A and B are shown apart, each in its own frame.
Chain A
Amino acid sequence: MAGAELEPVIGLEIHVQLRTATKMFCGCALGFGEPPNTRTCPVCLGLPGALPVANAEAIHYGLMIGMALESELAPISTFHRKNYFYPDLPKGYQISQFDLPLCSGGKLGEVNIHRVHIEEDAAKLNHAGASGRIEGADSSIVDFNRGGTPLAEIVTEPELGSAEQAGEWLRLLRTTLRTLGVSDVNMEEGSLRCDANISLRPVGTDQLGTKTELKNMNSFRFIERGIRAEVDRQRAIIEAGETVTQETLHFDPKSESITSLRSKEEAHDYRYFPEPDLPPVMITGEMLARASAALPELPAARELRYIEALSLSPESARLFAWRAELADYFDAVCAADKSLDRQLAANWVTELQGRLGEEEAEDSKVTAAALAQLAAMVASSQINQGGAKQVLDQLVAAGGDPAAIVADQGLEAVGGADELAPIVAAALEANPELTERLRGGDMKPIGVIIGEVMKQTRGRADGKEVTALVREQLGLS
Chain B
Amino acid sequence: MASDIGALSAAAAAAAIADGGLARDELFEHYRARAAADQLNAFTWVAEAEPGAVDGPLGGVPLAVKDLFCTEGIPSQAGSKILAGYCPPYTATAVANLEAAGAPLLGKTNQDEFAMGSSNENSAYGPVLNPWDHGRVPGGSSGGSAAAVAGGLAPWALGTDTGGSIRQPAALCGIVGLKPTYGAVSRYGMIAFASSLDSAGPLTRDVTDAALCYRHLVGRDSADATSVAFPEPIEIPSSERLDGVKLAVPTALVEGEGIEPGVRASFEAALETARGLGATIISCEIPSAPYALSAYYVIAPAEASSNLSRFDGVRYGLRVEQAHLDEMYTETRHDGFGAEVKRRILIGTYALSSGYYDAYYGRAQRVRTVVAQDLASIFEQADMIVTPTSPTVAFGLGERTADPLSMYLSDLFTIPMSLAGTPAISIPSGLSEGLPVGLQICGPAFSENRILSAAHALEQAIGFDGSVTWGSD
Task: Name A residues whose Cβ lies closer than 8 Å to a Cβ of B.
Answer: 42, 45-54, 81, 83, 85, 87, 90-93, 134, 142, 269, 271-273, 276-279
Contact = CB atoms under 8 A, between A and B. Distances in A.
User: Chain B's interface: helix, strand, loop or mixed, by majority?
Assistant: loop
Given A85-B329, A90-B314, A273-B361, A48 B78 contact: yes
A51 B312 contact: no
Contacts of A92: 306, 308-310, 312
A87 B319 CA distance: 13
Contacts of B311: 48
A85 to B, nearest CB: 6
A142 B312 CA distance: 14
Contact of A90 (B195, B310, B349, B361): B310
A83 B309 contact: yes
A269 B354 contact: yes
B76 A48 contact: yes
A42 B303 CA distance: 20
Contact of A45 (B76, B305, B309, B315): B315
B316 interface: yes
A45 B189 CA distance: 13
Given A48-B310, A51-B223, A90 B315 contact: yes
Contact of B354 (A49, A50, A271): A271
Contacts of B191: 48-49
Contacts of A83: 305-306, 309, 352
A385 B188 CA distance: 70
Given A142-B314, A279-B226, A49 B70 contact: yes
Given A85-B329, A92-B312, A273-B357, A49 B306 contact: no
A152 B256 CA distance: 53
B3 interface: no
Nearest to A52: B225
Interface stretch (B82-90, B122-130, B448-456): B82-90
B310 A277 contact: no
Contact of A85 (B89, B90, B223, B312): B312
Given A46-B315, A93-B309, A51 B352 contact: no
Contact of A271 (B89, B187, B192, B352): B352
Contacts of A134: 325
Interface in B61-78: 69-70, 76, 78
Instruction: Name the residue in B190, B223, B310, B329 with the highest tally of chain A Cβ atoms < 10 Å from its Cβ.
Output: B310
Nearest to B70: A49
A50 B189 contact: yes
A81 B226 contact: no
B283 interface: no
Contacts of A279: 225-226
Nearest to A92: B309
A49 B314 CA distance: 17
A277 B226 contact: yes
29 contacts: A42-B88, A42-B90, A46-B315, A47-B310, A47-B315, A48-B83, A48-B191, A48-B192, A48-B311, A48-B316, A49-B88, A49-B189, A49-B190, A51-B225, A53-B224, A54-B225, A83-B306, A90-B314, A91-B309, A92-B306, A92-B308, A92-B309, A92-B310, A134-B325, A271-B353, A273-B352, A273-B361, A278-B225, A279-B225
B225 to A, nearest CB: 5
Contacts of A49: 69-70, 76, 88, 92, 187-192
Contacts of B303: 273, 276
Nearest to B362: A273
A46 B78 CA distance: 16
A350 B190 CA distance: 60
B22 to A, nearest CB: 34
Contacts of B310: 46-48, 90-92
B196 interface: yes
Instruction: Name the residue in B69, B222, B303 with the highest tally of chain A Cβ atoms < 10 Å from its Cβ.
Output: B303
Contacts of B187: 49, 51
A113 B128 CA distance: 58
A50 B305 CA distance: 16
B113 to A, nearest CB: 13
